[in-house]
Chains A and B, each alone.
Chain A
Amino acid sequence: MTTTPILKLDNLGVTFPNHPVFKDLNLTINHGDFLSIVGKNGVGKTTLMRTILHQLRPTHGQVTYLPDPNHVKIGYVPQFRNIDADYPLTIEDFVGLNLTGWKWPWLSRTERQAVREILKETGLEAIAKRPIGQASGGERQKAYLAQALVEAPNLLILDESTASLDPVTKTDLLDLVQELNQCLDLTVLFVTHDIPMARKYSTEYLMLTPRGAEQGPIAGLTQNKVWEGENV
């Protein structure tokens, strides 16, 4: 199998006015990689994801999309989302929000088709017309995932999307992501605290610690190593 890089981090560093978050990060991510990013709270995982998305300008180094930015389409499922029980939109409408490529207010036939497809894939078809405010935690996460996937990205970032889910729902969701990863060559960046899940699904890992980063094939990531990394 040939490996083609999709994303490259060179000497990447981010410093907020009061403190440095991470520095000297070098990493190449290939098409089809399933990379788990682990590290304790506050170590800079979300900051790294936002830098990769170009939402934050790095203090040092750079993030490069390969072969060029036109070939990298990112879907991002953020860690936090403020959707309360009163939130009115249906799951279907919420997923469709991400379709901003076409100029008319209403969705085109192909766009509606794309929404239907993704709802089917994520197992949300039966509850497509239910207001998302009334959906369960797992169903919401699936809807967020579906929204990120509806524009057919080739790089998917999950920022602790599974943290609040029960084991069954979690496995359900990650099975789906894995299927897309294997069938469609979707590259996945999976931010998580769940080491067993990371070991089950990913191919590579990146561990952020206050001292620096460590990376390698997923087999090298053990719970002990994470504890060591967290207690420095």
Chain B
Amino acid sequence: MFSYEFMRNAFAAGTIIAIICGIMGVFVIARNMSFLTHTLSEIGFSGAAFGIFAGWAPLNGMLLFTVVSSVIVGQLSARSERREAATSAISALFIGLGILFLSLANKNASYATSILFGSVIGISAADVRQMLWLSLLVLIVIFVIYRFLKFDSFDHTGARVKGLWTNSLSITFLVLLALSVSVAAQIVGSLLIFILLTLPAATAKYFAHTVSGMMILAVALALIGVWLGLVLSYVTNYPVSFFIAAIEAVCYFAALGWQKLQTAE
């Protein structure tokens, strides 16, 4: 399996993605941003379609769209009651645009499928390098703002009382999320990216009770899903995103069941 270059690239890319998603996911869950993450991935689809239409690499189109829109969403949803509706409207608009760009670009349907559902074979060594740099950027920023982000994510009231710049933190986090979505979409596809950004962290929450513990567990769960998914996909020739989605969902429901048992006792 590893004698194929594309599989080596896919494993490298998958590993990077799992680490980023596990870490970011802990904050996504703590900040209740699963829905927004979903929207960002749809915006990512639109960006990738635009990239293809404009003759760029899809990743660059994604980066442009997700980063710009995350800043806009951050401004729009400073008031939380507006968030859901505004986010739905934005996501509808972007899915529509994505479909338009794809049809304008005149590419065949397999291109659309690989953007939406991800693909293992399309990843080059240059792609892996770009993903690595972007991920390092995300990790460095998280490292620098870690304490503030942690306080704001896990105790927003306390962070506000402390006078932390919670609005800037929120926008910074959205931009990081946009970068992560774009990176992660390379393998799992934009339709399913929110799986890796939410489920491993949501599962980890049931077992680990410190932020670092949740991060380690979420990364581990994401790694298991991605690696196992890649192997199964290689063996069976079924899409990798199916396996990742199935593995993460099973873990999540198992955790939920385990939790039920614990509280029932």
Known: A88-B208, A147-B158. A105 touches B146 (CB 8 A): yes
A211 beta carbon closer than 8 Å to chain B: no
Q: Which residue of B lies closest to A74 (CB)?
A: B161
B4 beta carbon closer than 8 Å to chain A: no
A97 beta carbon closer than 8 Å to chain B: yes
Known: A100-B147, A105-B146. A89 touches B211 (CB 8 A): yes
Considering the complex, which residues of chain A in the window 63-98 have a beta carbon less than 8 Å from any beta carbon of chain B? 76, 78, 80-83, 86, 88-90, 93-94, 97-98
Chain B residues whose CB sits within 8 angstroms of the CB of A16 once the complex forms: none
Q: How many residues of B contact A (CB 8 A)?
A: 26
A80 and B209: CB pair below 8 A? no
Considering the complex, which residues of chain A in the window 46-64 have a beta carbon less than 8 Å from any beta carbon of chain B? 53-55
| Residue interface mask B153-166, A partner, CB < 8 A = 1 | 01111111111100
B32 to chain A, nearest CB (A): 10
B143 beta carbon closer than 8 Å to chain A: yes
A145 to chain B, nearest CB (A): 12
Considering the complex, which residues of chain B in the window 133-148 have a beta carbon less than 8 Å from any beta carbon of chain A? 143-144, 146-148
Chain B residues whose CB sits within 8 angstroms of the CB of A99 once the complex forms: 147
Chain B residues whose CB sits within 8 angstroms of the CB of A93 once the complex forms: 209-211
Among A55, A82, A88, A102, chain B packs the most CB atoms within 10 A around the CB of A88
| Complex partner residue of B155 from A97, A102, A103, A129, CB under 8 angstroms | A97
A89 and B209: CB pair below 8 A? yes
Q: Which residue of B lies closest to A50 (CB)?
A: B161
Considering the complex, which residues of chain B in the window 201-235 have a beta carbon less than 8 Å from any beta carbon of chain A? 205-206, 208-212, 214
Please name 22 pairs of A and B residues whose Cβ atoms are closer than 8 Å in the assembled complex, sorted by A: A55-B160, A78-B161, A81-B155, A82-B157, A83-B155, A86-B205, A88-B206, A88-B209, A88-B214, A89-B154, A93-B209, A93-B211, A94-B154, A97-B150, A97-B151, A97-B158, A103-B144, A105-B143, A105-B146, A106-B212, A129-B209, A147-B158
